[in-house]
Amino acid sequence: MKNQVLPETFGSGRVGYPLPNRYGHPYTRYKFMGHLYQALIQKGIVTFKDGEKLERGKSISPELMKVIEESKFAIVILSENYASSIWCLDELAKIIHCKNETGMIVLPVFHYVEPSDVRKQMGTFEQTFVKHEEKENKERVEKWKDALTQVGNLAGWYLKEDCSEIENIKDIVGWISSLEV
C-alpha cells in the first residue's frame, strides 16, 4: 500500500468520515473533494476515502491510523472550520508524525483559508482553539497546534475566490502522477 494516496485529508487531507459539516461547509466535502477523488481514481492513483473502505464493525481510529502509516502521500484539505474537528486534528497530527518519521509527502490544499491563519492559528482557527483549550489536555492541543504550524509551512495549493478549482485539481493530480512510477 506504499503507493497509496491518503487524501486527507480525503485529510485532511481527504474525504472525511460521514460526519455532518465536518469541514465547515458541505461544498468542501461534496464538491471539491469529490471532484479531486474522482480525478485521482481516473488517473489510476490508488486513493483511500476514509469513510469508504473501512470495515464495518471495526474501530475507525486504529484502522485509519494504519492506513495513514501505509500511505505514500497525504492531501490535507484545510477549510475555515477544519480545526473544529478533533478527528481531523488527530489525523493531521498522525500525518505530520509520518512525514517527520518516514518521509510521507504531505500536500496541503488551503481551501478558501489563508495559509498564515493555519500556520499561526488565527481567525477561525484561533477561535476554535480557545474552545479546545478549555476541554482538552494541554499536550494534545499543543500537538494539534504544532501539526497545523507544520502543514501551514508546507508549499501546497491555495484556493481562493478568483481561482479555478478544476485547474487546481488538474495540477494536484498531475503533480502526484509525475511522482508515480
Q: Which residues are catalytic?
A: 91
Rounded CA-CA distance 122/17 in Å is 26
Rounded CA-CA distance 97/20 in Å is 27
Query: How far are the Cα atoms of 38, 64, 80 from residue 70, in angstroms, in the given order?
Result: 21, 10, 28
Residues 6 or more apart whose Cβ sits within 8 Å of residue 12: 74, 75, 76, 77, 78, 82, 88, 91, 92, 95
Cell numbers linked to 78: 484545510
Rounded CA-CA distance 140/90 in Å is 9
Rounded CA-CA distance 4/1 in Å is 5
- In 3D space, the residue among 43, 21, 2, 23 whose CA is nearest the CA of residue 171 turns out to be 43
